[in-house]
Amino acid sequence: MLKTCSCGELSAQDAGRTVTLAGWVNRRRDLGGLIFIDLRDRDGITQIVANPEISPAAFAAAGTVRPEYVIRVKGKVRLRPAGMENPDMSTGEIEAVASQMTVLNPAKTPPILISREENEEEGLRLRYRYLDLRRERMQRNMLIRHRAVKFIRDFLDERGFIEIETPILFKSTPEGARDYLVPSRVHPGKFYALPQSPQQLKQLLMIAGYERYFQIARCFRDEDQRSDRQPEFTQLDLEMSFVEREDILQLTEELIIGMVAHACEKRIKSVPFPRLSHADALDRYGTDRPDLRYDLELVDLTTIAGRSRFRVFTRAQAAGGVVKGLRSPGCADYSRKQMTDLETLAKSKGAKGLAWLALRQDGSVRSPIAKFLAEPLMAELMAAADMEPGDLLLMVAADREVANAALDVLRGEMARRLRLIDPDEVAFGWVIDFPLFEWNEKEARWDPSHHLFTAPQVHDIPLLDSDPGAVMSDQYDLVCNGYEVGGGSIRIHQRQLQEKVMSLIGLSASSAQEQFGHLLEAFEFGTPPHGGIAPGIDRLVMLLAGEPNIREVIAFPKSQSATDLMANAPSTVTPEQLKELHIKLDLT
């Protein structure tokens, strides 16, 4: 090794040792007759002093180095002179006095400063990702990610799970998201698909008798990006045989609790994780992935509001829609501009407008729709929303979906404005009892609300024939801070039931056979009841690290248009490559 110890490990106890350090010049402070260098490696920073009276050669070398030069320094560790300690540095009690200094490699002035963040355009950080990754923030995030994954592996290993790799080149199935395709050279006109998840493979591993499987699995989906979505992402994919829902929830909960304690400084708000049904989540929070860090629940005001003379309310009710409200404590004095901002937010989710009613401290009411509300009705509305003097009630009248979406975003906005969010806290919860199907208006058929391998709850199986929309599934989602961070289910393990679900979602017997024949066949060779879950590693680590998007916890993420700005991928290939793959381009 070119170094005897790291820049982060030295402390007062090392005083007197002669050490060799190697790393990057973080900063240099040239005082003329004395030069200080903050030497950085992955482990930390140690201050180097170059003094011409101790080593003229090292002092001369120190004069030539610049930020990001890679250097090697031999020197004696000593306590800093009294009063010169730096309490802001973990190594601030000591410094290394250079007796030798070698430049291992000089560096051009980097386009971004490593030692400080300047809120650069993200494209620039991605183009020079190897420099961005040198920064403290990214090194910290990579470390949190490593610790989280290491904990997962150790935890599951102790519980008898084994990690098994599954293919990256697999089979396309038009269900679900768009596939990334890989052309086959030896089979002209045929394609592999990159897995959207190892779902089928892990079920086949259960059929194969492995009972407890997991994988830190890369998944690929060719859909448009969001701040919490990348074209390739990582899941903890796990599956168990002979389990019921409760077994998976318990195991996952224990895993997450340990991981949080192990990987970061966050506290978990509630243990055990609160559970709510899918229907409850929508009623109370307007979303199936509620942010449980704060209360602010929605109230359904449809029946009261429907008796008002306000046409927007009565029409919504008549059309089968809802009027739902959100009490905003202490916001009765909101200005017109503040109200307009909230209305703009509501409209961004499809609401036609935002009705509101403020109960002033003196008991008087301020509301643009006051003239449509008789006094007793107004009192009823306020009572239903638990209004106290000083509160503001925001109301959206629309179909249920739009009202929920608008109030969900308003709820988040009010929580920020009212500072109800503790940044050191993460709030996990379970959403359970999902409907097995959602009605697809456009295609006039049932879609699986999770995926087509999800088992219906046993007592609802008879409803598959009579009322598919009422069938509840054994699906469960893990949510955290308003993100879906994992989803799973008990799976179907019988061919007949699987075929029934396939036919209900409009899959013909022939295409079911073509796409899933291997799985259907396997079901007939002794398939144990099984189930599992797939927590999203990127989103979890993002929340543990307190980052606003998953790119900050991925070493080499893609841009929103799915490009790699550093390597410049995707890129063109040679005509020869295309010919081998039997591909002709049509770029019209």
Task: Give the interface segment with RNA, choosing from 134-142, 244-252, 363-371, 446-454 (CB under 7 A).
Answer: 446-454
**Min separation Cβ 87 and RNA, Å:** 9
- Counting contacts by CB under 7 A, is residue 70 touching RNA? no
**Min separation Cβ 97 and RNA, Å:** 7
| Number of C-beta neighbours around residue 417 at 10 A | 14
**Min separation Cβ 358 and RNA, Å:** 28
Pairing of strands 275-277, 428-432: parallel
Give the pair of three-digit tokens for residue 231.
């074209």
Paired with 397 in beta bridges are: 323
* DSSP string over 472-526: BBSEEEEEETTEEEEEEEEBP--HHHHHHHHHHTT--HHHHHHHHHHHHHHHTTT
**Min separation Cβ 505 and RNA, Å:** 8
- Counting contacts by CB under 7 A, is residue 113 touching RNA? yes
Strands (E), 9-90: 18-30, 35-41, 44-50, 70-79
State the number of binding residues for RNA (CB under 7 A).
67
- Counting contacts by CB under 7 A, is residue 67 touching RNA? yes
269 by DSSP, 3-state: which?
A: coil
User: Which of 61, 73, 101, 452 forms a contact with RNA (CB under 7 A)?
Assistant: 452
Task: Give the interface segment with RNA, choosing from 204-212, 331-339, 417-425, 561-569 (CB under 7 A).
Answer: 561-569
- Counting contacts by CB under 7 A, is residue 93 touching RNA? no
From 16, 22, 18, 28, select the one nearest 1 (Cα to Cα).
Answer: 22
**Of the two residues 35 and 305, which places its CB atom closer to RNA in the complex?**
35
User: Can you tell me the distance from the alpha carbon of 168 to that of 404, in angstroms, rounded to the nearest whole number?
Assistant: 39
User: Which of 3, 8, 17, 51 forms a contact with RNA (CB under 7 A)?
Assistant: 51
Q: What is the CA radius of gyration of the chain?
A: 30
Nearest-5° Cα angle at 244, 239 to 246:
100
- CA distances, 111 to each of 122, 130, 222, 545 (Å): 13, 12, 32, 26
- Counting contacts by CB under 7 A, is residue 503 touching RNA? no
Place of tokens 């029946």: 303
**Min separation Cβ 515 and RNA, Å:** 11
User: Which of 34, 168, 257, 268 forms a contact with RNA (CB under 7 A)?
Assistant: 34
- Counting contacts by CB under 7 A, is residue 119 touching RNA? yes
Interface pattern 121-160 for RNA (x via CB under 7 A): xxxx-x----------------------------------
- Counting contacts by CB under 7 A, is residue 31 touching RNA? yes
User: Which of 7, 39, 49, 255 forms a contact with RNA (CB under 7 A)?
Assistant: 49
**Min separation Cβ 220 and RNA, Å:** 10
Burial environment of residue 532 by CB neighbours within 10 A (0 to 12, 13 to 18, 19 or more): buried
Backbone torsions φ then ψ of 357, nearest 5 degrees: -150, 125
- Counting contacts by CB under 7 A, is residue 515 touching RNA? no
User: Can you tell me the distance from the alpha carbon of 275 to that of 297, in angstroms, rounded to the nearest whole number?
Assistant: 15
- Counting contacts by CB under 7 A, is residue 30 touching RNA? yes
- Counting contacts by CB under 7 A, is residue 92 touching RNA? yes
Backbone torsions φ then ψ of 71, nearest 5 degrees: -130, 165
- The separation between CA 477 and the C-alpha centre of its own chain, rounded to angstroms, equals 13
- Counting contacts by CB under 7 A, is residue 546 touching RNA? no
**Of the two residues 200 and 317, which places its CB atom closer to RNA in the complex?**
200
- Counting contacts by CB under 7 A, is residue 448 touching RNA? yes
**Of the two residues 227 and 494, which places its CB atom closer to RNA in the complex?**
227
**Of the two residues 270 and 508, which places its CB atom closer to RNA in the complex?**
508
- Counting contacts by CB under 7 A, is residue 84 touching RNA? yes
**Of the two residues 306 and 487, which places its CB atom closer to RNA in the complex?**
487
**Min separation Cβ 556 and RNA, Å:** 12
- Counting contacts by CB under 7 A, is residue 586 touching RNA? no
From 40, 47, 49, 43, select the one nearest 107 (Cα to Cα).
Answer: 40
Q: Where on the phi/psi map is residue 208: left (φ > 0), alpha (ψ -120 to 50), or beta?
A: alpha
352 by DSSP, 3-state: which?
A: coil
**Of the two residues 172 and 328, which places its CB atom closer to RNA in the complex?**
172
Place of tokens 């403020």: 358
From 472, 490, 486, 487, select the one nearest 434 (Cα to Cα).
Answer: 472
Contact 202, 213 (CB under 8 A): yes
Interface positions, 229-258, toward RNA (CB under 7 A): 229
Contact 481, 228 (CB under 8 A): no
Give the pair of three-digit tokens for residue 528.
């144990």
Give the pair of three-digit tokens for residue 265.
């400084």
Task: Give the interface segment with RNA, choosing from 30-38, 140-148, 318-326, 373-381 (CB under 7 A).
Answer: 30-38
**Of the two residues 301 and 398, which places its CB atom closer to RNA in the complex?**
398
User: Can you tell me the distance from the alpha carbon of 400 to that of 286, in angstroms, rounded to the nearest whole number?
Assistant: 9
User: Which of 157, 223, 254, 467 forms a contact with RNA (CB under 7 A)?
Assistant: 223
**Of the two residues 308 and 454, which places its CB atom closer to RNA in the complex?**
454
Task: Give the interface segment with RNA, choosing from 185-193, 216-224, 309-317, 522-530 (CB under 7 A).
Answer: 216-224
Interface pattern 176-215 for RNA (x via CB under 7 A): xxx-----------------xx-x----------------
- Counting contacts by CB under 7 A, is residue 90 touching RNA? no
Query: Before 272, cis peptide (omega within 30)?
Result: yes
User: Can you tell me the distance from the alpha carbon of 98 to that of 188, in angstroms, rounded to the nearest whole number?
Assistant: 65
**Min separation Cβ 33 and RNA, Å:** 3
**Of the two residues 109 and 466, which places its CB atom closer to RNA in the complex?**
109
- Counting contacts by CB under 7 A, is residue 27 touching RNA? yes
User: Which of 74, 134, 289, 450 forms a contact with RNA (CB under 7 A)?
Assistant: 450
User: Can you tell me the distance from the alpha carbon of 246 to that of 206, in angstroms, rounded to the nearest whole number?
Assistant: 18
User: Can you tell me the distance from the alpha carbon of 28 to that of 66, in angstroms, rounded to the nearest whole number?
Assistant: 7
**Of the two residues 221 and 493, which places its CB atom closer to RNA in the complex?**
221
Interface residues toward RNA, by CB under 7 A: 27, 29-34, 36, 38, 47, 49, 51-53, 66-67, 80-81, 84-86, 88-89, 92, 95, 109, 111-113, 116, 118-124, 126, 175-178, 196-197, 199, 221, 223-227, 229, 348-349, 447-452, 549, 551, 559-561, 563, 565
